[in-house]
């Protein structure tokens, strides 16, 4: 079970591709998918708010414009009705004089001054004062009798604005030669509305008609002129806010001239900057014209625009906040899923994720969990098979080393026994026993470097029985690396090859060195033997089968099986000058931690 757990931890350290993927992902700016979806959502909300705001603004402006136009039309109709009513009242006033026979007879009376005075007091003035008292507005009622014997009654100064209702009796001679009168007489006009004398300057309008004798042969007995103020004829101007650009005019259709104006309208109504409204006054040549600026019709547009913009902005912020909350809640779940995926990339299949509810995230989490369990089980099975296979190969290679040494040692012991060298036989048997005790190492694959050196020394002690003092051994190993675990029997085969293949002459020197190189250690086995020819060295480096390179290939394969292809053996040799074998091993390794239970 310990091996299974450590195997999974070893798997996490192996895949360099996962680390590269992680670095690649960490190098890119990570934007959660939910926030990416938030962007088009906010764009859609913004476009919707803009569309709704624009439509609302357009409809409100149109509604306000129609309402303002309706109000102006209503006010214009009221003004028309008011002036028609006022004009009708004035006509009825004149009719009361025109149809009054006593009034007609009084106008034709001729007597002395006293009689005429009494006639005017009793039959003319009362009929003139009576309608003025009944009429609510201020009028000037002027009578122009043709009868020369009639006395004149002057009233207020007619060149001044009408301040009160007043009546006048003036001689026909006052208008007989006036241009406006002759124009009326030449056209035989009667019952007309006209501006005469100071009416235009004072803002007045006069109603002029003949008085005809209804008894006997028809004849003109006088003229009546009723003058009224335009502002009283038109009524209240509060519905026409002149100060806001609205212009009101009374036009004479016959001449096309304006007889009265209130307000100023700059520009031409045909350019679309004004709304032109007109109302004809029945029974006259006058028409009321109103010019309403478009800006007045849409006077509340700016305020409504600000209100709608504020409402749309609040709506957008509320919808954005809701979208952010939804994205944040969904993003947390997505982040947990991404974290799980990254753990898978790193080789960690122990993590699980659990969501509550019944949505897509729950199904994704369940699928991930099932996949993780399946992958974890698959890796455990496959990796255990690989570990077992690798261990079997390693054990097989390990087993190949001992027999050769055992055969050679037993052969030497046999020779010494035949020669009767009992003491040497005993020494070699004890040395062989100690050597194999270190080799077995309680079944462990790894051995500390100092134990490996001790095993080499034991082997050399065995060889020393055979060769006495014919070889010298030197040790130069850094004490700081003696505790580092290495696989066993990686130095002895090379020392053994020195006695088999490198020795020539009467003696040989052997040197063992060891030092730390960063996160690695370097071990060397150096001799001053005969060395190897270049072709033999090339054959060994290329892996060609060679009995002299058996131990080399064996150790090389074990190192690579145990530590990986980054570690192994290098050989340097000069024929006649000796050989150096360099071993590069890791200081820390997952396989070593596994066997140590770390």
Q: For residue 572, give the nearest of 512, 518, 511, 531 by alpha carbon.
A: 531
Q: How far is 567 from 484, CA to CA, in rounded Å?
A: 16
Is 19 inside a domain boundary? no
In this prediction, residue 30 carries a pLDDT of 60
Q: What is the pLDDT along the chain (598 residues), one digit of tens a residue?
A: 334 434 443 434 434 444 444 444 455 566 666 777 778 888 888 888 888 888 888 888 788 778 878 888 888 888 888 888 888 889 888 888 888 888 888 888 888 888 888 888 888 899 888 888 888 788 999 999 998 888 888 888 988 999 899 999 998 998 988 999 998 888 888 888 888 888 888 989 899 999 988 777 788 899 999 999 888 887 765 666 666 778 888 888 877 788 888 777 555 555 567 778 888 888 778 888 888 877 776 666 777 778 888 888 898 899 888 888 887 777 777 777 777 777 777 767 666 777 666 767 677 778 777 777 787 778 777 766 666 666 656 565 555 555 666 677 777 777 777 777 677 778 778 777 777 776 666 556 688 999 889 888 888 888 888 787 889 999 999 999 999 999 888 888 888 888 888 888 788 999 999 999 999 999 999 999 888 888 877 777 665 555 555 567 778 888 888 888 889 899 988 888 889 999 999 987 655 555 555 4
Tokens of 550: 């058996």
Is 14 inside a domain boundary? no
- Classify 286 as helix, strand or coil: strand
Q: How far is 107 from 212, CA to CA, in rounded Å?
A: 10
496 shares a domain with 367: no
Q: How far is 422 from 278, CA to CA, in rounded Å?
A: 149
DSSP 404-431: HHHHHHHHHHHHHHHTT-HHHHHHHHHH
In this prediction, residue 20 carries a pLDDT of 45
- For the stretch 215-257, pLDDT in tens is 777 888 999 999 998 888 877 656 666 667 788 888 888 777 8
CATH at 455:
3.30.565.10
Segment holding 478, helix H or strand E: none
554 shares a domain with 421: yes
Residue 260 domain boundaries: 238-296
**Taking the CA of residue 72 as centre, how many other CA atoms within 13 Å lie in the half-sphere pointing to its CB?**
28
445 shares a domain with 567: yes
Phi, psi of 28 (to 5 degrees): -90, 150
230 shares a domain with 246: no
Is 18 inside a domain boundary? no
Q: For residue 249, give the nearest of 240, 259, 241, 239 by alpha carbon.
A: 259
In this prediction, residue 243 carries a pLDDT of 63
Q: Cβ contacts of residue 58 below 8 Å, gap of 6+?
A: none
Is 592 inside a domain boundary? no
Q: For residue 230, give the nearest of 141, 282, 142, 162 by alpha carbon.
A: 162
Q: How far is 409 from 414, CA to CA, in rounded Å?
A: 9
280 shares a domain with 222: no
Q: Cβ contacts of residue 82 below 8 Å, gap of 6+?
A: 233, 234, 235
Place of tokens 């036009």: 251
Q: Is 207 in contact with 90 (CB distance < 8 Å)?
A: yes
* Chain centroid, CA 461 distance in Å: 82
Is 595 inside a domain boundary? no
Count of domains forming the chain: 4
Q: How far is 91 from 85, CA to CA, in rounded Å?
A: 10
Is 591 inside a domain boundary? no
203 shares a domain with 105: yes
524 shares a domain with 383: no
97 shares a domain with 198: yes
Tokens of 336: 């947990």
Tokens of 58: 């357009």
Q: Is 140 in contact with 227 (CB distance < 8 Å)?
A: yes
Q: Which residues is 286 bridged to in the sheet?
A: 252
User: What is the residue-averaged pLDDT of the chain?
Assistant: 79
Q: How far is 12 from 14, CA to CA, in rounded Å?
A: 6
Q: For residue 209, give the nearest of 187, 193, 198 by alpha carbon.
A: 193
Phi, psi of 215 (to 5 degrees): -105, 130
269 shares a domain with 313: no
Q: How far is 476 from 117, CA to CA, in rounded Å?
A: 164
Tokens of 380: 């455990």
Q: Is 549 exposed, middle or buried (0-12, 13-18, 19+ CB in 10 A)?
A: buried
The sheet with strand 139-145 has its strands ordered as: 166-169, 139-145, 220-229, 204-212, 192-194
Q: Is 281 in contact with 259 (CB distance < 8 Å)?
A: no
In this prediction, residue 520 carries a pLDDT of 92
Is 343 inside a domain boundary? no
410 shares a domain with 393: no
pTM of the complete model beyond 0.85: no
Tokens of 322: 């809701």
Q: How far is 590 from 595, CA to CA, in rounded Å?
A: 9
What's the length of the chain? 598
310 shares a domain with 223: yes
In this prediction, residue 209 carries a pLDDT of 92
Q: Is 215 exposed, middle or buried (0-12, 13-18, 19+ CB in 10 A)?
A: exposed
304 shares a domain with 387: no
Is 373 inside a domain boundary? yes
Q: Is 212 in contact with 198 (CB distance < 8 Å)?
A: no
């Amino acid at each position: 079970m310990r091996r299974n757990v450590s195997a999974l931890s070893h798997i996490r350290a192996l895949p360099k591709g996962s680390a590269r993927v992680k670095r690649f992902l960490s190098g890119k700016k990570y934007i959660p998918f939910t926030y990416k979806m938030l962007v088009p959502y906010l764009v859609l909300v913004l476009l919707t708010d803009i569309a709704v705001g624009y439509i609302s603004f357009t409809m409100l402006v149109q509604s306000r414009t129609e309402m303002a136009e309706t109000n102006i039309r209503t006010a214009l109709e009221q003004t028309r009705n008011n002036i028609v009513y006022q004009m009708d009242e004035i006509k009825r006033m004149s009719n009361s004089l025109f149809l009054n026979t006593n009034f007609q007879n009084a106008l034709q009376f001729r007597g002395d001054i006293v009689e005429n005075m009494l006639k005017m007091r009793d039959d003319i003035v009362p009929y003139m004062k009576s309608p003025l008292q009944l009429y609510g507005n201020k009028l000037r009622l002027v009578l122009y009798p043709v009868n020369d014997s009639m006395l004149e009654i002057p009233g207020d100064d007619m060149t001044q604005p009408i301040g009160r209702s007043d009546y006048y009796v003036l001689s026909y001679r006052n208008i007989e030669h006036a241009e406006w009168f002759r124009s009326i007489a030449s056209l035989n006009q009667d019952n007309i509305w006209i501006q005469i004398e100071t009416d235009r300057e004072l803002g007045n309008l006069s109603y002029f008609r003949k008085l005809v004798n209804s008894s006997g042969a028809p004849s003109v007995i006088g003229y009546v002129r009723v003058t009224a103020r335009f502002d009283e004829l038109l009524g209240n101007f509060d519905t026409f806010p002149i100060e806001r650009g609205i212009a009101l005019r009374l036009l004479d259709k016959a001449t096309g001239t304006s007889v009265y104006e209130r307000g100023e309208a700059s520009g031409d109504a045909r350019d679309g900057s004004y709304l032109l409204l007109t109302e004809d006054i029945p029974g006259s040549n006058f028409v009321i014209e109103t010019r309403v600026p478009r800006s007045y019709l849409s006077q509340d547009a700016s305020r409504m625009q600000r209100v709608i913009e504020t409402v749309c902005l609040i709506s957008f912020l509320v919808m954005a906040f809701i979208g952010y909350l939804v994205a944040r809640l969904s993003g947390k779940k997505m982040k947990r899923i991404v974290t799980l995926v990254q753990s898978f990339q790193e080789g960690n299949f122990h993590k699980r994720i659990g969501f509550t509810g019944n949505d897509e995230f729950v199904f994704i989490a369940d699928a991930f969990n099932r996949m993780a369990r399946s992958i974890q089980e698959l890796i455990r099975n496959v990796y255990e098979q690989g570990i077992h296979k690798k261990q079997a190969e390693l054990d097989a290679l390990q087993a190949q080393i001992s027999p050769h040494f055992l055969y050679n040692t037993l052969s030497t012991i046999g020779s010494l026994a035949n020669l009767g060298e009992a003491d040497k036989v005993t020494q070699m048997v004890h040395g062989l026993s100690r050597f194999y005790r270190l080799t077995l190492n309680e079944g462990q694959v790894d051995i500390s470097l100092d134990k490996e050196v001790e095993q080499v020394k034991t082997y050399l002690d065995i060889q020393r029985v055979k060769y006495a003092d014919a070889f010298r051994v030197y040790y130069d190993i850094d004490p700081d690396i003696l505790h580092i675990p290495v696989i066993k029997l990686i130095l002895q085969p090379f020392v053994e090859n020195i006695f088999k293949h490198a020795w020539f002459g009467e003696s040989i020197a052997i040197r063992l060195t060891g030092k730390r190189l960063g996160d690695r250690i370097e071990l060397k086995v150096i001799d001053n033997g005969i060395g190897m020819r270049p072709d033999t060295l090339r054959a060994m480096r290329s892996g060609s089968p060679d009995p002299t390179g058996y131990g080399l290939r064996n150790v090389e394969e074990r190192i690579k099986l145990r530590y990986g292809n980054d570690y192994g053996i290098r050989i340097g040799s000069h024929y006649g000058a000796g050989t150096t074998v360099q071993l590069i091993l890791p200081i820390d390794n997952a396989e070593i931690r596994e066997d140590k239970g770390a």
